[in-house]
């Protein structure tokens, strides 16, 4: 609980007799507040309101530093809020919960992680993601798939396929995948994600070894022969610009956890590919809490 022992610690925010909020006196310095009689002004639980009042008064600071100064106390036994600025968000506070990742993992009997499947269009990423989810489900494990096309039907429907939006698409999926892993789920993300920088940025979002990069290393000629969505044909005809593998590069992973590729010119079955990943998960302790 944060307590101010005098109104002076909050500056002159209560000095004007009438504020633009429409009331005459913001606080009563002595008496009952929050159900306990005290000679001090109790601010526990009221700090957000005080910040709003401060922001409404002319000439008052509203920076994270001034907000912290407003109600910090050095008195023994008191606690202080530490507000942060992250990106374009200011005056935000991280709230901890007594139920954390370890408790959720114990409940699910598995360890949360992100399986990031990358490869060319037509390499079989979505097929592998579904096969892996099905096999893990049969074994009693909770998964969720973030498919590159599916997320553009909702979360990323506002993004195009230019370079900037493609990078933002990957960033958003990485952030959502991080939340799923924190929830204790095995999150399977299947996206082309052609650039190493963006994949590494998603890896850096997770604080431990729970980012598992899977390179579906299927040759371009095989992917183009499959062409399940007809996109290669459109790209070769010049109707799609910046298509990965045709007129835009794909940067192959150099140090990923799992590589899946052809054997003697034949692609492994979806079930065999899923088993290869499951074996990695089992050997590295992800399938038990």
- Of the candidates 124, 141, 147, 140, the one whose C-alpha atom is nearest the C-alpha of residue 272 is 124
Number of neighbouring beta carbons within 10 Å of residue 207: 9
pLDDT score recorded for residue 77: 53
Domains and CATH numbers, the chain: 3-92 (no CATH), 101-283 (3.40.50.300)
Q: Tell me: the pLDDT tens digits for 92-128?
A: 998 999 999 999 999 999 999 999 999 999 999 999 9
Q: Measured between alpha carbons, how far is 114 from 189 in angstroms, rounded to an integer?
A: 7
- The residues that bridge with 263 in the sheet, in sequence order, are 266
What's the pLDDT score for residue 76?
52
Residue 139: φ, ψ to 5°:
-90, 5
Give CA torsion, residues 271, 273, 274, 276, to 10 deg: 120
Q: What are the residue numbers of the active site?
A: 193
At 5 the pLDDT is 45
pTM over 0.75, yes/no: no
The predicted-structure confidence for 134-179, as pLDDT tens digits, reads as follows 999 999 999 999 999 999 999 999 999 999 999 999 999 999 999 9
- Spatial distance between the Cα atoms of 107 and 103, rounded to a whole number of angstroms: 6
Please give the pLDDT value at position 79: 54
pLDDT at 69: 39
Q: How far apart are CA 245 and CA 251, in angstroms?
A: 10
Of 153, 169, 151, the C-alpha closest to 161 is 169
Let me know: does 7 contact 14? Beta carbons within 8 Å.
Answer: yes
Query: Mind listing the pLDDT tens digit of every residue in the chain (289 residues)?
Result: 444 444 444 444 444 444 344 434 444 344 433 444 333 434 444 454 444 444 444 444 444 444 443 334 445 555 578 899 999 999 999 899 999 999 999 999 999 999 999 999 999 999 999 999 999 999 999 999 999 999 999 999 999 999 999 999 999 999 999 999 999 999 999 999 999 999 999 999 998 899 999 999 999 999 999 999 999 999 999 999 999 999 999 999 999 999 999 999 999 999 999 999 999 999 999 999 8
């Amino acid at each position: 609980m944060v307590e101010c022992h005098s109104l002076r610690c909050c500056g002159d925010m209560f000095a004007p007799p009438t504020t633009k909020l429409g009331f005459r006196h913001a606080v009563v310095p002595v008496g009952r507040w929050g159900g306990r009689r005290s000679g001090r002004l109790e601010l526990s639980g009221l700090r957000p309101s005080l910040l709003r009042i401060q922001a409404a008064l002319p000439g008052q600071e509203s920076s994270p530093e001034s907000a912290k100064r407003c109600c910090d106390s050095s008195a023994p036994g008191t606690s202080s809020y530490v507000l942060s600025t992250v990106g374009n968000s200011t005056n935000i506070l991280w709230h901890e919960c007594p139920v954390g990742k370890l408790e959720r993992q114990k409940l699910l009997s598995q360890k949360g992680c992100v399986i990031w499947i990358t490869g060319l269009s037509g390499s079989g990423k979505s097929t592998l993601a579904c096969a892996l989810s099905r096999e893990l489900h049969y074994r009693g494990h909770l998964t969720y798939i973030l498919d590159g096309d599916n997320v553009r039907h909702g979360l990323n429907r506002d993004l195009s396929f230019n370079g900037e939006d493609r990078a933002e698409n990957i960033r958003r999926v990485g952030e959502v995948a991080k939340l799923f892993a924190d929830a204790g789920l095995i999150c399977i993300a299947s996206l082309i994600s052609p650039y190493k920088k963006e994949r590494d940025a998603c890896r850096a979002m997770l604080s431990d070894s729970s980012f598992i990069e899977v390179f579906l290393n299927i040759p371009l000629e095989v992917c183009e022969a499959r062409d399940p969505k007809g996109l290669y044909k459109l790209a070769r005809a010049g109707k799609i610009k910046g298509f990965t593998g045709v007129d835009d590069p794909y940067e192959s992973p150099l140090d990923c956890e799992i590589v899946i590729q052809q054997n003697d010119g034949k692609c492994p079955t979806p079930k065999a590919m899923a088993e290869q990943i499951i074996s990695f998960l089992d050997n590295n302790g992800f399938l038990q809490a």
